[in-house]
Amino acid sequence: MKILDFLSPETILTELKSGDKKGVLEELTLPIAKITGIEHKELFRVLIEREHLGSTGIGNGIGIPHGKLKNLPSLILGLGLSRKGIDFDALDGKPTHIFFLLLTPEKSTDLHLKLLARISKILKEEGFKEKILNSPDRDEVVRLIQGIDQEF
Positions annotated as catalytic residues are 66
With a CB cutoff of 8 Å and minimum separation 6, the contacts of 31 are: 8, 10, 11, 13, 78
Is 122 within 8 Å of 152 (Cβ atoms)? yes
Integer Cα distance of 57 and 39 in angstroms: 24
